[in-house]
Amino acid sequence: MSVVEHNLLTDTDKSGLSTRRLARNNSLADAKQKAYKGDIFRRASTRDICLLTRQLATLLRAGMPLVPALSALVEQVQGGALAQIMQEVRDSVNAGSTLASALGKHPGVFSNLFVNMVAAGEASGTLEEVLLRLAEMLDKRVHLASKVKSVIAYPLMLTVVAVGVVVFLLSFVVPSITQIFLEIGRELPWPTRALISTSAFVKTYLLLIAIIVCGALFGIGAWVRTDEGRIIWDRYKLKLPLFGKLFLKLEIARLGRTLGTLLASGIPILSALEIAKGVVQNRFLADALGSVKDLVSKGDNVADSIRKTGLFPPIVFHIIATGQVSGDIEGGLLSIADMYDDEVEITAKTLTSLLEPAIVLVMGAVVGFIVLAILLPIFEINQVL
């Protein structure tokens, strides 16, 4: 039994106070949860938050007090959910709340990282500098995310279009053409026979195939949303051919910039690791970062703790180790982020240049086979005639 539990059981004078304190904490938690649920329906994009942060930093740097600066942002946003949220933030600050506390009332819009950095900036008197760091970090995050999405989306779109065209040909075009060959009664070449069999199968079971594919995708999506499924899927993503290294570089860039920005803003290393753990989107890497935090809390340095995970390239913990020796670990982390930002862009361009012709080549081969299978019987009939 802990000391707190013992006091709660034995000290009757304090029990009522403890009960009231617990009730007040529960009510605050419920209010925060309600605010989060409300923010779900009025979320703002990362790009909007980035622009808002940069504008607020510019206003503060120009010498404008905080409340008038927030009022100017409310006018600048010009309606919408974000304007309403900023108005609530301004009212809270005007009533005496800190900016970090006011932002923390909207966890669905402003992340734990954002709130903690603002709190550190307010405590150190460098709020505008911290806001500029936040804006830069968010801008980099949006830029990298768009690069990765374009690499994934473009080949995926080409694949969907290619599969749709082939299914359309096999289901509607090929049967009407091959029916003529069947009525002639001649023995058909094997490519034509294979095409007819494939076309008949697709046309007969098209609905069933669509149901199976949609069901499989829905089932996989539901499984990935579970804790165990998410960890397994995130571990597998890092081992994917071609894309695995891209995902790892993206997470390292995001992690390095987040940790470096947090440390540069004056947040202690253990708190920075805990906040960065929530920023990392890959759950497998987030769990590894949790083990890094545990090792650091026991006395290990950051570089050795990261090396022990076995997930990060050697250059990462070597740069961090050098930063620890020079007393500029945040500079080393930001250098890692810049380096991997560039590598993500290079890898994204390389994958795009490789996947686009590969998909077009496969699509051309399939369509070419269909055309060949249709033309072969025609050539044979012409030769007989």
Whether residues 266 and 338 fall in one domain: yes
Residue length of the chain: 385
Whether residues 309 and 367 fall in one domain: yes
pLDDT digits 0-9 by tens, 221-267: 899 888 888 889 989 988 888 788 888 888 898 888 888 888 888 88
Give the pLDDT of residue 212: 94
Boundary-marking domain end, from 114, 136, 158: 136
Least confident of 116-125, 133-142, 184-193: 184-193
Question: Range of 115's domain?
Answer: 3-136
Burial of 122 (0-12, 13-18, 19+ CB in 10 A): middle
Whether residues 270 and 294 fall in one domain: yes
| Single-letter amino acid code for the residue at 236 | Y
Whether residues 224 and 306 fall in one domain: yes
Whether residues 152 and 281 fall in one domain: yes
On the question of pLDDT at 218 being above 90, the answer is yes
In this prediction the pTM is: 0.72
Whether residues 282 and 153 fall in one domain: yes
Tokens of 362: 């496969």
Least confident of 29-38, 112-121, 166-175, 234-243: 29-38
Whether residues 119 and 230 fall in one domain: no
Whether residues 152 and 249 fall in one domain: yes
pLDDT mean over 184-197: 81
Give the integer Cα–Cα distance in Å for 43 and 37.
10
pLDDT digits 0-9 by tens, 104-127: 898 888 888 888 888 888 888 888
Whether residues 288 and 357 fall in one domain: yes
Q: Write the CA distances from 291 to 277, 302, 373, integer angstroms.
A: 10, 11, 59
On the question of pLDDT at 79 being above 70, the answer is no
Q: Write the CA distances from 53 to 83, 113, 143, 160, integer angstroms.
A: 13, 13, 16, 38
Boundary-marking domain end, from 111, 136, 161: 136
Whether residues 91 and 160 fall in one domain: no
Give the count of domains, the chain.
2
